[in-house]
Amino acid sequence: MRPFTLPQLNYNYSDLEPFIDKETMTIHHQKHHQAYVDNLNAALLQTNEINPDLDSLLQRISEYSPAVRNNGGGHYNHSLFWEILSPNPKLSPEGMLHDDITATFGSLEELKAEMKKAGLAQFGSGWVWLYVKFNGSLAISSTPNQDNPMMDILSMNRGFPILGIDIWEHAYYLNYQNKRADYLDAFWSVLNWFAVEKKYEEALSKVR
């Protein structure tokens, strides 16, 4: 089996300061994400998978063990998270995504407010998602632990994630302590909408 590997970041650990601090980034990437990668590789050795595609695996995650679900989700979710962050972000969407956000939520500010609401309502660890549903429409949801909308263990709220906010405490506690709301507000200052637009286009190509 070809093992999964920890993705390299396109920026330094300190580059997202003051919104996300260097120590949090270092631990989050080198320790937490690396553990998901290592544990996923170990769990897959107990399966018949040869060279699994992570997206395909998550879409039929009900066929696998909790270890594959938790660590496969952890690897996918964090890989997406690093990809959409930037020290020099595009701070607002344009084109089709902008129009879709406006039509669905009313405005970018309303989208942010709805994602913050979902993030604060999620009990315990998890993620908040903006995703493209299988019918092509945009939606917001939260998931516990390392689940995400692609997983077939969800009875609803399924689709392709284009923006995810990690709301596990390890993502923000060193800098924000118990102030999840402040972290959710700060997140938008390092979100690169250019990367989200690319994810949006990729998702639409899968549902059309």
Q: pLDDT of the chain along its 208 residues, tens only?
A: 679 999 999 999 999 999 999 999 999 999 999 999 999 999 999 998 887 899 999 999 999 999 999 999 999 999 999 999 999 999 999 999 999 999 999 999 999 999 999 999 999 999 999 999 999 999 999 999 999 999 999 988 899 999 999 999 999 999 999 999 999 999 999 999 999 999 999 999 998 7
Using alpha carbons, select from 149, 204, 184, 84 the residue that is nearest to residue 141. 149
Residue 2 confidence (pLDDT): 77
Residue 33, marked binder = no
Tell me how far CA of residue 166 lies from CA of 2, 123, 207, in angstroms.
27, 13, 25
Single-letter amino acid code for the residue at 134: F
Residue 32, marked binder = no
Q: Which residues contact 204 (CB under 8 A, 6 or more apart)?
A: 96, 132, 136
Burial zone of 53 (CB within 10 Å; 0-12 exposed, 13-18 middle, 19+ buried): exposed
Residue 75, marked binder = no
Give yes or no for a contact between 127 and 143, defined as CB atoms under 8 angstroms apart: yes
Residue 160 confidence (pLDDT): 98
Give the CA dihedral 79, 81, 84, 86, nearest 10 degrees. -100
Residue 50 confidence (pLDDT): 80
End-to-end CA distance of the chain: 32
pTM of the predicted model as reported, rounded to 2 decimal places: 0.96
Give yes or no for a contact between 130 and 138, defined as CB atoms under 8 angstroms apart: yes
Please, how many CA atoms are within 13 Å of residue 127, restricted to the half-sphere of its CB? 23
Which of 3.20.10.10, 3.55.40.20, 3.10.180.10, 3.30.1490.20 is the CATH number of 21-208? 3.55.40.20
Residue 78, marked binder = yes
